[in-house]
Amino acid sequence: MIAKHTVLIAFLGVATGICTAGLASDAKVKPNVLFIVCDDLNTHVSPSGYGAIVTPNLESLAREGMTFSCAFCQYPVCGPSRASLLSGLYPESTGVLDNKTDIRQTRPGTVTLPQHFRENGYWTAGVGKVFHSVKSDQGERAWSVPAQRFDNDELPIVTQARRNFEADHGSIDAPRNRKAWKEVAQTAAEPLLSQDTPVGHGPSGLTDEQHKDGKNARQVISWLKDRTYGDKPFFIALGIQKPHVPFLAPQKYFDMYPRDKIVFHRDDPNLWDSLPPSAKSGRYKGFGFELGKENPALRREYIQAYHACVSFLDVQIGLVLQELKNQGLWDNTIIVLTSDHGYHLGEHFMWGKVTLFDIGAKVPFIVRAPGVTAAGSRSDAMIELLDIFPTLTELAKLKTPSHLQGTSLAALLRDPTGNRERQYAYSIVSRGPNLGYAIRDQQWRYAKWPDGEELYDLTKDPHERHNLADDAAHHETRKAMRKALAAKQKLAESKRLQ
């Protein structure tokens, strides 16, 4: 069978293979799309220059495609970030600034990425976490078949507790038993929780196939094997839910990262003396840490678990990409790889997301476009996640919706040294009723908070540990970045519905 021309968008995927054919040389043949998005994945992956972790499938993709070193989310929280990238709009224009708000209420009628492909003749399907939640999933507007979300199989340490409970009380599904069983199950799972923190982490006791991401990947493989999409081009969205908490993965992935081999930078205990209080997020407390105080043993425990989850997801995505080869689709496949936002693992004494530091807003981003991208190429252009939507429409030769605020990367894919329209990347985050704003160029990151400012020279201080906002020597730079931020804010609000 002649392989279909395929566009694969993998918000996080990789595989090996040599490109032997260009994209959709026959204008009448529509390319396929596979869209893979990871949850809470920062730049702790080898293509981003992080050598302490093993992600061979991502490395393979990077060797064949283009790696973007300066890609940023528009809001470092799952719901707002996904609403932004799936609509091609800045968060101020989507009106989605938290995990509970639905763009269908804030901006009725807005066409999202999968919906646009469905309306243009594509068979569309989603599995795992694509839209933020079941409630915000767009259902038949976006998908040709109902979106699927799997759960992990029951943890072995919970199975025995369930058997004992049911022997004494009957089925856990009986209404009279549900509350009591929930308490028993939580107690049974305590070995996977640190004594000092409720954040779950540790070897799960499950196989790859028993984890939800293992099931997600295998669902896509099933669609590809069975050619469920029929005669239509497909748009398949694979939402990988790792490395989101709880940090659970099979034992073999933990074995890859002995705790005594884990190295990290220790920040100055007085770091926060020079930073606006609003710049921090209080999530470190939930992980069992104190601001300005290191806990090396617990930090290594979490880093090991996070890295185990990253290597686990790398393997699952590799299986999907291998199936594309098995089905003869690889040579006509475009892959875009990214995450919804970054993640702190103790940097600046922060844990989790919801900050505007680069570790919280920067994401992996790799594109492989056969016949377009040069193998092993790199670009330091400033990229925003809302660029994905217009990039796909151009590559698939579809009309680009008029509401999009992103910029197609197609020209950069052809020539990474060419001019790039965007000079800055922009991110925001909420602090109560207020917002914090950050803007970046190749040298500087500037942030504006209700209670202060930040300014970092990224060429000299790439980890953002020396705030220069009050340094008189950088007055002109701060002034210029303020002006650039004001212009970006105006643009970000330009599509807001009144």
Give residue-wise pLDDT tens across range 250-274. 999 999 999 999 999 999 999 999 9
Q: Flag whether 168 is in a domain.
A: yes
Residue 331 lies in a domain: yes
Determine how many CB atoms are found less than 10 A away from the CB of residue 474.
16
Residues 258, 310 within the same domain = yes
Residue 371 resides in a domain: yes
Alpha helix locations (H) across 407-462?
410-414
pLDDT score at 185: 81
The answer to whether position 468 is within a domain reads: no
Residues 94 and 231 both lie in one domain: yes
In this predicted structure, the answer to whether residue 17 has a pLDDT above a threshold of 70 is no
Residue 220 pLDDT greater than 70, yes or no: yes
Residue 448 falls inside a structural domain: no
Looking at per-residue confidence, does 305 or 11 come out higher? 305
Same domain for 68 and 139, yes or no, is yes
Query: Per residue in 288-331, pLDDT tens?
Result: 999 999 999 999 999 999 999 999 999 999 999 999 899 998 88
Whichever domain contains 115, its CATH number is 3.40.720.10
Question: In this predicted structure, what is the pLDDT of residue 11?
Answer: 46
Same domain, 388 and 239: yes
State whether 137 and 224 are in the same domain.
Answer: yes
* Residue ending a domain, choose from 417, 435, 450: 417
In a domain? residue 278 = yes
Write down the pLDDT at residue 187: 80
At residue 100 the predicted structure's pLDDT band, cuts being 50, 70 and 90, is very high
Is the pLDDT assigned to residue 422 strictly greater than 60?
Answer: yes
When pLDDT is cut at 50, 70 and 90, the band that residue 443 belongs to is: very high
Task: Give the Cα separation of 175 and 155 in Å (integer).
Answer: 22
Range name among 79-83, 199-203, 274-278, 457-461 with the lowest pLDDT average: 199-203
**Dihedral Cα 288, 289, 294, 298, nearest 10 deg:** 20
Which band of pLDDT confidence, cut at 50, 70 and 90, is reported for residue 378?
very high
306 and 214, same structural domain?
yes
Mean pLDDT of 201-205: 93
Percent of the chain at pLDDT > 70 equals: 92
Structure confidence at residue 30 (pLDDT): 84
- pTM of the full predicted structure? 0.92
SS3 state at 335: strand
In angstroms, the CA 29 to CA 26 distance is 6
- pLDDT given at position 198: 63
Question: Is 211 contained in some domain?
Answer: yes
pLDDT per position as a tens digit, 144-185 = 999 999 999 988 888 888 888 888 898 989 999 888 888 888
Residue where a domain terminates, one of 389, 417, 445: 417
Q: Report pLDDT for 7.
A: 47
Do 342 and 326 lie in a common domain? yes
- Say yes or no: 314 and 388 in one domain: yes
pLDDT band at 193 (very low <50, low <70, confident <90, very high): low
Q: Which domain range does residue 256 map to?
A: 33-152+204-417
Q: How many domains does the structure of the chain reveal? A: 2
Residues 340 and 387 in one domain: yes
Domain match, 180 and 234 both: no
Per DSSP, 6 falls in state: B
* pLDDT given at position 279: 98
| Residue 498 banded pLDDT, cuts 50, 70, 90 | low
At residue 477, does pLDDT exceed 70? yes
First to last CA, the chain: 52
Domain annotation covers residue 116: yes
The pairs formed by 446-451 with CB atoms below 8 angstroms and a separation of 24 or more are: 446/478, 446/481, 446/482, 446/484, 446/485, 447/276, 447/279, 447/356, 448/482, 448/485, 449/276, 449/278, 449/279, 450/278, 451/276, 451/277, 451/278
pLDDT at 3 over 80: no
Same domain, 130 and 267: yes
Q: What is the mean pLDDT of residues 194-212?
A: 83
Cβ neighbours for 162, distance < 8 A, ≥ 6 positions apart = 154, 172, 181, 185
Same domain, 371 and 222: yes
